Chain A
């Protein structure tokens, strides 16, 4: 990333900003040094104008959100008059908000009626019993199935509290629950409510618009409304679609135009000026600098000067970060991107993730059959996804993982578990069903390699700044290796005579580690050794996966009829495949984020956001989200 300064005659500021926005390469910032220069700022009239533009942005954003995905952003910058834009955006927002409010009201009404529906017939029968409801408060109640005792208890409680001054009618409904209608004199309504609440009986509250005198009439009205509501909702939806068709494109154009306009105003505020000249400063990826020079030279000739700002001037500033990796590694930026961006000048771990993530995944899944299925699924996803989208990245990561799963499947001799052994595939490195120790050793060895690599990357990166700590980190890496070798010698995997020299070397390295990393370094070392042991999960999850597959295969023949066994085996394999993809993904992410990144990763970078047209930014984010 380079910091640049663009200088030119003041009257050219607007045109230069327009060109810079067209190019979309520079993230503008306020100049670091501005003695004798003033921020351009805004006049009161311009401030009023900005407030107006912001209101249009609010209106148009709200309108587009209410229209949903029916509106696609324009691919190129648009031009539209602001007063006209304000009028259209404001009107559309009001109309759409009105429709949304109406729809919400109707949906609530429908939900209420649907709550009553199972009891329509029951309440209607009760209503037809000739009850005189004048001066009477009616409660609609629902009693759960087998509530005969409850009904008796309620009747007794009401009789005790209200004497004979109530009517409690019940009728079983189609759902099996009982609909009950309780009628009490209005004066006793409070007492009745209290008794119902004590009995824990659910009372259905009637919507305001149905508060009619007669139960039968209320039910009839509700039934009629239930028939009318879909039509009314459809009318609202038609109206929304009509606005989307008539005004959708306009709204998208307005959004692009006013957001561009707002961005230009905000960019203008970042310019500093003298009576005759302007100065703009910003960040640009170093590789894009020649293109900016060329384009500005082409448009403005010698009138504009672009110069690099020396690093002393921006030493304390936050430098924006953009991840840039070779094509092969780029999909794995999706994994790095789930963490906060790395600080500028620190290590982008994407290349390491691109190598180790699919490899670890393959070691865990390690099955030709599952790997092939994953490959096919990933390939379909890749074909169906668009370039530069998250889905495309995921599909490409899936392809890499499937490739490693197939390779390790060959090495373990596994095809849908032990089916491979039955058809003549032989394990080349070890048989995971039996070789727990070799698999565990392999997993921990991978952990040592991964952690030591992380420590070394951290040490190399730190060497320029803090040499003492860099040496400490390097020493920690060395001690991890020494301790691992000493343990191997102790357990007879290396000649026993190596044990004493290795331990002595490790002890000699300890003071250097403490000098480099401080007194807490030994505790940190123990934690690092814990990180190494965490890689045992590669063996644990892998073994669980192969055992599940073996169990699935044994189901054939375990259920009498062969086809039942095959069916169960297929279902079990399907479950194992889903688990076999999901579980290693989570665990390998954890190994990377917690164990590996913890050794060198410095988060805190801010995203590079170049000053460009809204339409371009919108399209990019739309692409990313697909």
Chain B
């Protein structure tokens, strides 16, 4: 495997990996707060689900970018 390909795969991995970690971190902060809020106000379920789903955009866009890197680079 050439060095170019190594960097290609590494950059794709970073493109999806870093946002995934960021998403996990954001959700780890939102989750406990959301659980506490739900314990007091169960009617906030929808808002809570949305709040937890919002950081997932990072991971999803990271995944899209990773795919683009791989496809453009011929990986």
A residues within 8 Å of B by Cβ?
A: 338-339, 436-437, 440, 533-534, 536-537, 539-541, 543-544, 586-587, 589-590, 593-594
The contact sample of 27 A-B pairs, CB cut-off 8 A, is A339-B46, A436-B67, A437-B71, A440-B67, A533-B61, A536-B61, A536-B64, A537-B60, A540-B60, A540-B61, A540-B63, A541-B60, A543-B63, A543-B67, A544-B63, A586-B49, A586-B53, A587-B56, A589-B46, A589-B49, A589-B50, A589-B53, A590-B50, A590-B53, A590-B54, A593-B46, A594-B50
| Distance between Cα atoms of A533 and B62 in the complex (Å) | 12
Residues from chain B with a CB closer than 8 A to the CB of A589 are: 46, 49-50, 53
Does more than half of chain B's interface fall in helix, strand or loop, or is it mixed? Answer: helix
Q: Using CB atoms, name the residue of chain B closest to A540.
A: B60
Q: Pick the 8 closest A-B CB pairs, nearest first.
A: A540-B60, A338-B46, A537-B60, A590-B53, A540-B63, A536-B64, A436-B67, A586-B53
Q: Are A594 and B54 in contact (CB under 8 A)?
A: yes
Residues from chain B with a CB closer than 8 A to the CB of A541 are: 60
B residues within 8 Å of A by Cβ?
A: 45-46, 49-50, 53-54, 56-57, 60-61, 63-64, 67-68, 71
| Distance between Cα atoms of A205 and B13 in the complex (Å) | 56
Does more than half of chain A's interface fall in helix, strand or loop, or is it mixed? Answer: helix
| Distance between Cα atoms of A537 and B19 in the complex (Å) | 14
B40–chain A nearest beta-carbon distance, Å: 18
Residues from chain B with a CB closer than 8 A to the CB of A533 are: 61
A170–chain B nearest beta-carbon distance, Å: 40
Q: Are B53 and A436 in contact (CB under 8 A)?
A: no
Q: Are A440 and B54 in contact (CB under 8 A)?
A: no
Q: Which of B53, B54, B64 is A540 in contact with, Cβ under 8 Å? A: B64
| Distance between Cα atoms of A436 and B71 in the complex (Å) | 8
Q: Are A534 and B57 in contact (CB under 8 A)?
A: yes
Q: Using CB atoms, name the residue of chain A closest to B52.
A: A586
Residues from chain A with a CB closer than 8 A to the CB of B64 are: 440, 536, 539-540
| Distance between Cα atoms of A589 and B46 in the complex (Å) | 9
Q: Using CB atoms, name the residue of chain B closest to A587.
A: B53
Q: Using CB atoms, name the residue of chain A closest to B49.
A: A586
| Distance between Cα atoms of A544 and B67 in the complex (Å) | 12
| Distance between Cα atoms of A592 and B60 in the complex (Å) | 17
Q: Using CB atoms, name the residue of chain B closest to A534.
A: B57
| Distance between Cα atoms of A372 and B19 in the complex (Å) | 34
Q: Are A537 and B50 in contact (CB under 8 A)?
A: no
A341–chain B nearest beta-carbon distance, Å: 13
| Distance between Cα atoms of A536 and B58 in the complex (Å) | 11
B65–chain A nearest beta-carbon distance, Å: 10
Residues from chain B with a CB closer than 8 A to the CB of A540 are: 60-61, 63-64
Residues from chain A with a CB closer than 8 A to the CB of B71 are: 436-437
Q: Are B60 and A593 in contact (CB under 8 A)?
A: no
Q: Are B57 and A537 in contact (CB under 8 A)?
A: yes
| Distance between Cα atoms of A339 and B47 in the complex (Å) | 8
